[in-house]
Each structure stands twice: as C-alpha cells, then as structure tokens.
C-alpha cells in the first residue's frame, strides 16, 4: 500500500500516518520527494484494504499494490481450474454450450427443446424456474414445478440442468433438482446468497452484474470461494453503457482479462449480452474466438410466444446451424465443441 | 403500443401482427405510410408489455406509449404521498435529515453520535447492522447486537432508527427493532426481498441501484407497492459512470424527474453518491436546492478509525455546521429543516 | 413521427399540434386511446427531425419512426459498398489488415516496420504525422516530415498509407502524401473537418467517438457522404464505460449492428479498444469472427521506447504470429486474409 | 511515479527498469516487499508521464503520483483566478448568468431576447453563429451574419457576447465580433482549436466533453493555458451515462472537485446538461448551491419554433422568475447575483 501525502505535509502529518500503520503491525517506509512525501506500508497489505486511511488529515490518496481477491486469483493457484458437471468439463480445451429456454413454461416444451439442443451439440440444459423480472406483473416462473420438469427432462435426455437461485430460502429445494446453480447478474452482489451457495457442494455459474467492474466480479466469486465452494464458473453477460442499439454491451475483453487474473473458467451469455436474436450468431463466434470456455444461449421453439425474453431467443433450427459454425471457429483457435 | 413494420412489409406481415394483437383482446389500427406501415394497438397496453412482439417476422421495432409502473405513478395518484415515521414527515414542505454511522460499531459510539446529530437537527438515526461489503474479508456488521443498540438508543434519544435489510430471513428480526427498513442499492433488484418488504407495515427507504435507470427504479418501488406496502421513500445515491474522481456520480436531476413521474418522496444520500467527506457539504446543499425531501448523511465520531466507509463520513462538528447552512438553502427554496 | 399527448389532453391541445404538422405539409392522423391521444404525422418525416415539438404545450413525447441518416443507410443502398485503395478492397469477402506505428518517429523505423508487417500480411501501412495527445507536453508528431516518410516508404514497399487529419488547414497537405485519410475518435463530431473530407476524392477511415452511439456514428458518416465523398470506412475502436481494466470497452456488437443498418465497410481497432498489447491477440480474433472487414493494429519495433502508445503496440514477431492465427479464424467464418 | 513489478520478478527485471529510469535522469528507489517489488522514481515525474513503461518486461503496473496538468492546477497557483469580461467578473463571490438563444436566428429576435434577459439579470448574451449539429441536414447557423447581429445587439444593450468557435479558420473572424469565445463539448479535445484560442487575448469558455473525465477536462484547459491565454472559464454541461430520462447527466460534483484541483472559475450549463426546459429551474438552483461561478441558460421567445434546441429553452418570463429564485439561493450560500 502506498500512501501519498498532500503537498507541504508536515513531520506531524508523516508521523500520524506512520504511527497508524505501525500500530497495525506494518513496517513503514518513508520517501520524501521534491513535491510529495510517499509512505509505503510493508507487510500484509490485506490489513489495510478496508482502513479509511483517506480520512487521516494530510493524506492525499491511497494506492493499493495488491489485488483484493485471493483464492480466485491466479497468484493463489496458477493452473486453470477445471469444473466437472457429470462428465462435462469447463475450463479445459473443450467449449461447452448451455442452451434452453429463458423460463420453463411446461414439460413438453422443455423436453422438445432439450432433445433438439442436445442433438445440435449442447452439453447442458438451462431453464428458469424462478425469474427475476423487472416488473412485478410479468411472469415470475413456475417455481418448484419447473424444477421437477428439469429433473425429469434430465432423466430422459441425460443433459445436466442449470437453473437460477434468487433467494437463500430456495437453496435446499433447488439443490434437490439441479446440477448447476446459477446466480444472476442482478444478484451478483447479493452477498448473503453468495455466502449460501459457497456452503454447498454444487457448481455455480456466477453472472457479472450490469455495472460490476472485473475486480468486483472476482470479489463476488471470492465470497463464494471463501466459504469452501470453489466450483465457480464465471459468466460475462454484458454491461450497461450509453449505447441503446443493444440491450447491454457485451464486454468480450473481460474474457482474456479474467483469464490473466483468475484460474476460474469463464463463459459468455450472448443472449442477454445483446438482447437480440439476430446478433447471437456473430457474438457467439466472437466469444469462442476470444477464448471463452463456454456459451449460454437461449433457445425457444416459439420465440414470439415465449413468456420471457422471446426477442433474444433462437429457434432450434438456427441454433443447430450456429453450433456447426462455432465448431469451425473453435477449431481455428485450437479448441473443440462436442 | 406502436408496432413499426420493416420496410416493404407484406399484407401477410401486417395480418400476422394484427391477428396476434386481436387474439390478445386489443383493437388494431393500421396506418400505411410512404416508407413504413405502423400498427397501433388500442386497449390495455399492459397486456403487451412483456410480449416478445419483436420476434414476429416483419416487425422492426415496438414502441410502448404508456409507462410500465402504475401504483407509484403520478397518473395513478396525483397528490404527493406523505410518509410518517413517528412524527417525522417525508414528502411535505419539510426536509428531513437522517444521520448516523455507516455501521453500528458499539453502543456508546452509537449513542454519542445519535445525541450529537439530534442536537444538530437530524430527524432519524441510521446505522448498519448487516453490511453489504464488496469483500468477504471486510467487517460485515454486528447483526442483531447492532439492532438492539439501535433500539436502545432510540429509547434514550427519541430518534426513530433506520437500518438495512439484506436477506428475507432477517425481516422479522429487523422489524422488531427498527422504524424504517432500508433496501440498499445492490439489492434494488433483489425482487424477492422487495416482495417481502411489500408485505409488512413499515416505511421502506429504497435506494437506486448503481446502474438502474429511473424507470427501473420506479419498477422496483412498484414491486413493493404491488404487495400492499405503499410507504416507500426513494433514495438517489449516485450512479456508476466513467468518472473516477468521485466514487459514483450523484444524479441530482433524478430528483425533479421522479417528482414528475411519481408521487413518492425522494431523498438524497450524498455520502455514497460521491464517497468523499470533503464533497458532502456542497452536494448536500445542491440536493436541498434541487428539491429533495430529505438527506441521508454518514456521521462518525472518529472517521479515520471507522470500520466501514470512514472516508465518506463527517465528524459531528462538521455535520452541525452543515445543517445550519442547509437551513438557509432550504428556506431559499421555500422549505424548512427542523 | 408519432406524437404522444399528455394524459387528459384537450381538443385545443390536439388542434395545436395538428395545425403545426399541417403547416409543415404533413398529413395528420389522430388516434384517441383510453389513456392517451396519439397523433401520427404522415409524409416526409425528415421535416420533423429537428422541430422542437416537445416544446408545444400538451405534448408528452415525440417518437421518430425513421432513421435520421439516409445516404449511408442500407435502405438507401442495399448492396455492400466496396472501397478500393489501390488494389486493396474493403467490404468484400477479404479482411484487410492495416498495421504500423502509432506515430512516425523516423524514416528508418517506419521502413523497417513497414517491410516487416507487409511480409506478415498487412495490406496498408498506418503512421501518425499529427497526433491528438491528451497532454500539450506530449510528443505531437513530426508533421509534414512524417508525411514525406510515409510517401517514401510507400514507394519502396508498395503499401498504401493511412494517416490522421486533425485540422482542416492540413487537408491539402495530407492529400498530397496519403492514400487514406483517418478521422480520429476525438474528431468524430468535428463537423467542419467532416465536411472538408467530404469534398475530396480520397477514402476516409472514420473512427467512432468514445461516447458516440451507433446512430451518431452513422450521422457523422452521413456528414461526409452528404458532400459527395462516399468512400467511408467505419472503425470501431472502443467506447468509454466504467470498466478500468481496459483503456476502453471494445464494442464488438457494433459490427453486426452496423452491417444491418449501413452498407459501408467497418473495421476494428483493437489496439485503442483495449489499450494493452497483451489483449490484442484475442480481441483481433474476436473482431474477425464477429464479421469485421478489417483490422487496424499498432506495431512498433521497440514498444517500450515508442513516443506514443507503446503499451498497446505489438512487436513485429508477435504481429506475424497473430496474422497467421487470424487467417484460420477468417477461414472459419468464410473469409480470407491475404 | 511508482512502478510495481510482477510477482516473482528477477534481479534482471529490476535492473532493466532501474536502468531505464536512471537513463532519464531520475533517482531510483527500490523496495522489495513480500509479494511485490516496487520501484519509486524520484525527480521530475513529468518526464515519465508519457513513457510506455508498461511495455517493459516484468512491469505489472505504473502509478503516477503527481497530476498531469500544471498551469491550471491549484498547486501552481493557489488563489482563485478571476476573469473579467468588460466589468463582469467570473470567479469572485458573484454568480454570473449568461443567457440567450441556442442559435442567432435573426437580429430582432436576438435583440428582444437580449433586452429581456438583461432586465432579468443576465450579465452576458449567448447566441450561436456556427452550430455543431449531429445531422448535416439541420440548421447550421447564420455564420458571420449572426456575429454581426451579436455585435450590434451588444452595442444597443451593453451586454458582452459569447459565441462558439468550431474551426480554427474562423478564429480571426469571431475575435472581431465577440467578447468571449466558446469551445463546445464536442471540440473539447480538438487540440488544434485549443492551441489556437490559447494564442489570442480573449476569455474562453471551455465546455466539458460528453465522455471526458475531470482530469482530461483540465488537460484541455492546460492546452489553452500552455500557449499563454489563461483566461479560461470551465463549463460543466453534462456527461453521457446510461440514463435516458435526461439528455445527459449533469455532474454537479464536478464543480467542487474542480474547485479543489484548479484555480479557474467554473460555470454550469443546465440546458444542455438535462436537455429539458422543465428541469432547468431545479438544476440551476442546485448549480448555484453547489458552488458554480455562473450559469449558461438557453432562452428563446418562441421555443416551439426555435431552429435549434427549442425543447431545452426557457421563455423570457420563466427565465425572469428563475433568476429571482436564484438570487435567494445564491444569498443562502454567501454569494450574489447582480
């Protein structure tokens, strides 16, 4: 941690900061420059991360040197983490595709979609049981009924299933039925929920919040990991910017940035990222080319009648064509899709 | 709802959309322009708000005419809503100041701060018991112990107390102790939490999410109101932008915009809005001048030792001076501070 | 154009708007709904684009139906525009790579880099003569001297050259030496400069502004086209967002969005988009996969001594490896790199 | 400047950076921590501001200690700069109001508006002669004719006049007629234009760019000051964010932040900041309360027929009422409006 003092700082100012740092068990290193005095704190920087040093009179700014996350960082663990869901692996050279409807609307529709995306090459089935909708008057999901359908369809198709958890009180229920728990973008900083999923032994897909920096995203993963559950799959799904042509701006540079900073696998959700079915194809190709470990794509057999997010869902026939195209892109960057 | 068809749309395209609208019980009005055909849907637009009409072949864009929120809108209720907390009123000509530490760190410190802010003119005491921290390694709040201190200090000072709820499982507990429940910015779209506080009979302060549009903010208020609880105080606390000189960008224009759209009171939290104690003074004055119904300000007796957000906390003596200055600004815009 | 009147609008309100529209030569269509009256203006909507109809009493909002740009739109011209620079084509199935140093620092370094990027597969040479630097104390470019070097190196290598124009007074000078004029992101709305380059017969690379929406970007292209010069190559180079891990956020979804809206070719500049040399590789692959017609990449033989943007420049050897990798990605999406 | 090396950096890495710093004439200070080695460069940091040290192998990040601007900083000059336009002063305890139409549409309308805003308390008259419009098909201003009208109206009313410069080739012309040159938001980083206005002896109003950080804003002021002209009035006019309820988000915290960093006066333009006439009143009050040295407000006698920005213009009668209200707010914060 580097503490920069204000111009013209007095010896008293310097002493005040030094004493404080030393009282926290850190060694202090003072460097008087021409224009500024700088104080370096040597030792366990984590002690300082949440100390309000800016409030000490005479301090101009405080600059951390180390990263605030630990367990999820590549410094902590250098080799890539591979997460297994049944015999599907996230984080090795393969690219996994998760597909399915935004929300589970019925057993038959779910089975039909599952059957079809499986044939096209999807490795997991997604389907919402609890839906976080902007409006209280929108369809909120079928709840446990949907979870049961997911489990039944898994039995029939062999596809592991993913569904979103919104409330800590539903954790036990959801764990009974699904293979992977999804934490949605709006709950990325629902810290209580993060702590809870950190205590179960199930893989978690953690979506990036709409206004979360990459550091905050990794800090939320750290919340989960800090409780013991290290089976975390990160998911970039678009951030909020001024552009209105797309629902969000898919930040594909987050993929290689996170690959540098963390050992966790990262997938991309182009459906929410752009919010328009006609852009899923190019954005999926770009996500594969940029190095994503997987994709999460909304597929619906009747998008114009979907109870949720129909305008960003692909029809099964388009999905099939897309996966075929993606295989070629994956191969061009040295990876493979089942 | 206006549906704009793509250039060169066929009669079949028009019929497809018309049939769909009519099947939903709406009257259809077709207007063929030179370059585009436009279809107007007449009737209860709310039916259409969550229909994926963009997915129908031939549709270029869909433009809603009405607002998606209802109970919280000024169209629904024209006169300002006044919310009473004890004998403190939010939404009339007075401006209420809520002050206190970011987190309750002990009984004595809380009492000292409460005593002092009360004397300076604060109407309510704030203090966090459960703290939503970016890092799992930061101080997370004293929990129920803090709630007890808040209740005790209320007894002694007469100040009603506000504290944040993060988890639906704590609702009953928090209701036992506090007068006003706060929903933090990171939980603005924690819809399950919104539904729960919608079912109790306690005023709620709902903070705007970091990347929430004003419409989404009002939709979250609608979630609460839809369950029966209409005692909602909105709170602008800064949005996330590219600027890094301040922690967030306080969007003061949200205050008059929301006054036009909704009948609910709205207050401003400059402490989180800018994140720097040395900007609280001018931003508080601006908030009063722009028409806010109240302020929420962090006050700590030893900011440089605070366990949370010390760098944005005012010392009691500065708070006192500020309130005196604010009285003059309030009076200049025809309002008053106790 | 759809004009939505405020709730409870009177006949007088309706007449006021109708009269105004009719006085502009438009036909009026009134539709009284249950909650709102809507007025449609039929005829040449462009008349209305810049009329302050929102200022007419009783008007709630004005919703344009048509797009504000014309010549550059796909409605105006459906087939892709192909722009030729010597025998290099932008906009057909090939993908063109423009490479070179941020700024021309000397003749030899320019020649060395040009020679090497040509061998690796670059189709054009870039090099700044006039540099738009954030600080007045930074290196501002060699000016005409640099232009002469560019022309000389073109003679020797056969590579057409691109350089940035910052000032209308330099237009004649730059036209003497370069093959393609670049308009930088900071000048995307320097409308006088746009008008000037609209009047010469040289291809123009127009970069997207840091905070420009796609519509504004196309409006700036329209400025150029409106003066006669239709040889416009658009360039996505990152937008400004809250994320600080990268210099900007490269908005790759802009590529397919623009392909839908406009017939102009669009290339991507990953160097400025992310600002870090270690991310150029994955972002270039993603740009090719997403459908870009070309790439603009900064290459420097000694990045750590570059006078400008060294931290985002690739060394020639890394550039060569990258182009080889890009050929495979291009081929996977049905395109080719020379 | 602090250079943080990557984890596990070798002695060779350290030497490489040290040698480079020493070759630039700086003293080097090495501090080996437990997890990172940090190198401090002592001496004239400005040498390093534009050195691509991030490109040196082994460097993780580079953290500047000092600010990149000099002449405009409060460190360079501690007392507030007061800029005189005739006998109007910007930067002392008075608050100056600049009012007038977006664009000069005719002599009579300009005179009428000038007369009326003068009576209401405006100190300067604004009026566009050259208009930076998003569309090439919009009204672009009357050019020199407008400048002549401005000069004539100044003769008659005594109000000094402000008008925008868009092109260095118009500088001489505009200097003949106006008292204050305005540089618009879209030209904040048109560096050639900044250099030119830096060489004349006229006050300049420099508007903040839509996506400019406060540091970049001050760097643009530094461009002007570096050429000798220190009569710079900064102007906050809204930044681009995701919120669409207002045209831009007026960043009022920029006012106190800039007051800390710079000695230059700063005014606020609420008209462009929010883009809606019905929000000018509260936002102007907030701007005065937050500490602005002046306001720039668009006033038009027939907003609904204005050729430019009518929807954000006030009518003279509303402007008069507003100025009266602002006098009370100014007085509440210890300042005065003429």
DSSP A132-155: --SSTTS----THHHHHHHHHHHH
Query: What pLDDT band is residue C173 in, cutting at 50, 70 and 90?
Result: very high
Q: How many CB atoms lie within 10 A of CB C92?
A: 15
Q: Which residues pair with A297 in a beta bridge?
A: A99
Three-state DSSP string of chain B: CEEEECCCCCHHHHHHHHHHHHHCCCEEEEEECCCCEEEEEECCHHHHCCCCHHHCCCEEEEECCCCCCCCCECCCCCCCCCEEECCEEECCCEEEEEEECCECCCHHHHHHHHHHHHHHCCCEEECECCCCCCCCCCCCCCCHHHHHHHHHHHHHHCCCEEEECCCHHHHHHHHHHCCEEEECHHHCCCHHHHHHHCCCCCCEEEECCCCCCHHHHHHHHHHHHHCCCCCEEEEECCECCCCCCCCCECCCCHHHHHHHHECCCEEECHHHHHCCHHHHHHHHHHHHHHCCCEEEEEECCCHHHCCCCHHHCECHHHHHHHHHHHHHHHHHCCCEEC
Residue D22 vs residue A122, higher pLDDT: A122
User: How many CA atoms lie less than 13 Å away from D197 in the CB half-sphere?
Assistant: 34
Query: What pLDDT band is residue C49 in, cutting at 50, 70 and 90?
Result: low
Between CA D318 and CA D305 the distance in angstroms is: 17
pLDDT at C322: 97
Q: Which residues pair with A2 in a beta bridge?
A: A40, A63
State yes or no: pLDDT of B187 exceeds 90. Answer: yes
Q: Which residues of A touch C246 (CB under 8 A)?
A: 253, 257
Share of chain B above pLDDT 90, in %: 73
Query: What pLDDT band is residue C8 in, cutting at 50, 70 and 90?
Result: confident
| Contact in structure between D239 and D264 (CB atoms under 8 Å) | no
Between CA B284 and CA B312 the distance in angstroms is: 13
- B254–D245: do the CB atoms touch at under 8 Å? yes
Q: Tell me what the mean pLDDT of segment B302-329 comes to.
A: 91
Interface of B with C (CB under 8 A): 2, 4, 7, 29, 31, 33-36, 38, 40, 42-45, 63, 65-66, 75, 240-242, 244
Interface pTM (ipTM) of the complex?
Answer: 0.94
Tokens of D287: 């701007």
| Contact in structure between A283 and A250 (CB atoms under 8 Å) | yes
Residue from B250, B261, B289, B336 to probe the interface with D (highest D Cβ count within 10 Å):
B289
- Helices H / strands E in chain D, number of each: 10, 15
State yes or no: pLDDT of B197 exceeds 70. Answer: yes
Per-residue pLDDT reduced to its tens digit, B82-110: 999 999 999 999 999 999 999 999 999 99
Q: Which runs of consecutive H residues, i.e. helices, occur in A3-68?
A: 11-23
Residue from C3, C7, C47, C65 to probe the interface with B (highest B Cβ count within 10 Å):
C65
pLDDT at D21: 87
Residue D259 vs residue B7, higher pLDDT: D259
Q: Which residues of D touch A261 (CB under 8 A)?
A: none
Cβ neighbors of B231 (< 8 A, separation 6 or more) are: B83, B201, B202, B203, B204
| Contact in structure between C243 and A213 (CB atoms under 8 Å) | yes
Between CA C239 and CA C247 the distance in angstroms is: 9
- D2–A31: do the CB atoms touch at under 8 Å? no
Q: Tell me what the mean pLDDT of segment D46-51 comes to.
A: 68
Please tell me which of the candidates C256, C274, C328 has its beta carbon nearest to residue A332: C328
Q: Name the strands in the sheet holding A2-5, side by side, starting at the edge strand that comes first in the sequence.
A: A27-32, A37-42, A2-5, A59-63
Please tell me which of the candidates A31, A38, A75 has its beta carbon nearest to residue D7: A75
Dmax (CA) for chain D in angstroms is 76
Q: At what angle do helices A107-120 and A316-332 cross, to 10 degrees?
A: 30
Measure the CA angle with vertex B193, ends B191 and B199; round to 5°.
Answer: 105
Q: Which residues of A touch C252 (CB under 8 A)?
A: 250, 252, 283, 286
Tokens of A271: 């459906």
Residue among B258, B254, B303, B257 nearest B280 (CA):
B303
Per-position DSSP letters for A78-125, written without gaps between them: -SPP-EEETTEEESSSEEEEEEE-SB---HHHHHHHHHHHHHHT-SEE
Distance set, CA B140 to CA A195, A250, B103, B272 (Å): 12, 32, 9, 17
| Residue C194 phi, psi (nearest 5) | -65, -45
In this predicted structure, which of C39-48, C300-309, D92-101, D143-152 has the lowest mean pLDDT?
Answer: C39-48
Q: DSSP 3-state helix, strand, coil percentages of chain C (rounded to 5)?
A: 40, 20, 40
Q: Which runs of consecutive H residues, i.e. helices, occur in D34-179?
A: 107-120, 144-157, 171-177
Residue from D290, D291, D328, D337 to probe the interface with B (highest B Cβ count within 10 Å):
D290
pLDDT along chain A (338 residues), means of 10: 87 89 86 83 73 81 86 95 97 98 95 97 97 89 97 98 97 98 97 97 98 97 97 98 96 98 98 92 98 97 82 93 98 96
Tokens of B130: 């459960």
Per-position DSSP letters for D164-179, written without gaps between them: E---GGGHHHHHHH-S
Residue among C217, C192, C240 nearest D209 (CA):
C240
Q: Which residues of C touch B247 (CB under 8 A)?
A: none
Please tell me which of the candidates D243, D256, D332 has its beta carbon nearest to residue B279: D256
Between CA D265 and CA C93 the distance in angstroms is: 55
Cβ neighbors of D81 (< 8 A, separation 6 or more) are: D91, D230, D263, D264, D265
Please tell me which of the candidates C33, C40, C66 has its beta carbon nearest to residue B31: C40
Q: Do β-strands B27-32 and B83-85 pair in parallel, antiparallel, or remain unpaired? A: unpaired
The rounded Cα B8 to chain-centroid distance in angstroms is 45
Q: Tell me what the mean pLDDT of segment D236-246 comes to.
A: 96
Residue A113 vs residue B28, higher pLDDT: A113
Tokens of C191: 């409308």
Measure the CA angle with vertex B15, ends B14 and B18; round to 5°.
Answer: 90
Distance set, CA B56 to CA A304, A319, B34, B192 (Å): 6, 18, 22, 32
Share of chain D above pLDDT 70, in %: 99
Q: Which residues pair with A250 in a beta bridge?
A: none
In this predicted structure, which of C275-289, D90-104, D294-308, D320-334 has the lowest mean pLDDT?
Answer: D294-308
Q: Which residues of A touch B169 (CB under 8 A)?
A: 168-169
Between CA D122 and CA B275 the distance in angstroms is: 35
- Which chains reach chain C with 3 or more Cβ–Cβ distances below 8 angstroms? A, B, D
Q: Which residues of D touch B254 (CB under 8 A)?
A: 243, 245
Tokens 């309002």, located at residue: B335
Query: What pLDDT band is residue B49 in, cutting at 50, 70 and 90?
Result: low
Residue among A214, A206, A163 nearest A186 (CA):
A206
pLDDT at B21: 87
Residue among D235, D85, D207 nearest D154 (CA):
D85
Tokens 């630990």, located at residue: A70
At residue C110, the 3 state secondary structure works out as helix
Residue C51 vs residue C102, higher pLDDT: C102
Q: Which residues of B touch A138 (CB under 8 A)?
A: 49-50
Between CA B281 and CA B318 the distance in angstroms is: 9
Residue D62 vs residue D211, higher pLDDT: D211
Distance set, CA B243 to CA B15, B280, C236, D67, D213 (Å): 49, 17, 22, 16, 5
| Contact in structure between C123 and C293 (CB atoms under 8 Å) | no
**Total residue count of chain D as it appears in this document:** 338
Residue of C nearest to A282 (CA): C290
Per-residue pLDDT reduced to its tens digit, C67-114: 889 999 999 999 999 999 999 999 999 999 999 999 999 999 999 999
pLDDT at A150: 98
**CA of C331 to nearest chain D CA: how many angstroms apart?**
32
Query: What pLDDT band is residue D61 in, cutting at 50, 70 and 90?
Result: confident
**CA of D134 to nearest chain C CA: how many angstroms apart?**
6
pLDDT at D57: 81
């Amino acid at each position: 941690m580097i503490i920069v003092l204000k111009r013209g700082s007095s010896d008293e100012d310097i002493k005040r900061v030094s004493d404080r740092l030393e009282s926290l068990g850190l060694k202090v290193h003072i460097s008087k420059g021409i224009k500024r005095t700088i104080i370096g704190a040597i030792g366990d920087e984590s002690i300082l991360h949440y100390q309000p040093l800016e409030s000490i009179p005479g301090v101009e700014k405080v600059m951390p040197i180390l990263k605030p996350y630990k367990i999820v960082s590549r410094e902590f663990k250098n080799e890539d983490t591979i997460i297994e869901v049944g015999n599907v692996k996230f984080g090795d050279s393969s690219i996994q595709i998760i597909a399915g409807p935004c929300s589970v609307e019925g057993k038959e529709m779910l089975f039909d979609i599952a059957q079809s995306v499986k044939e096209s090459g999807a490795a997991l089935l997604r389907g919402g049981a609890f839906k976080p909708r902007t409006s209280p008057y929108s369809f909120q999901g079928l709840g446990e009924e949907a979870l049961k359908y997911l489990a039944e369809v898994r039995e029939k198709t062999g596809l592991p299933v993913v569904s979103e958890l919104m409330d800590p009180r539903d954790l036990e229920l959801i764990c009974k039925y699904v293979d992977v728990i999804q934490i949605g973008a709006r709950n990325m900083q629902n810290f209580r929920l993060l702590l809870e999923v950190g205590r179960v032994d199930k893989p978690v897909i953690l979506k990036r919040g709409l206004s979360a920096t990459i550091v905050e995203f990794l800090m939320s993963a750290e919340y989960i990991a800090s409780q013991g559950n290290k089976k975390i799959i990160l998911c970039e799904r678009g951030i909020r910017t001024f552009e209105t042509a797309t629902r969000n701006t898919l930040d594909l540079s987050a993929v290689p940035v996170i690959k540098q900073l963390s050992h966790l696998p990262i997938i991309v959700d182009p459906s929410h990222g752009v919010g328009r079915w006609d852009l899923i194809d190019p954005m999926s190709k770009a996500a594969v080319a940029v190095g994503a470990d997987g994709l999460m794509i909304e597929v619906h057999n009747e998008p114009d009648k979907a109870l949720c997010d129909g305008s960003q869902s692909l029809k099964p026939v388009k999905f099939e064509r897309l996966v075929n195209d993606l295989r070629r892109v994956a191969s061009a960057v040295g990876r493979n899709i089942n």
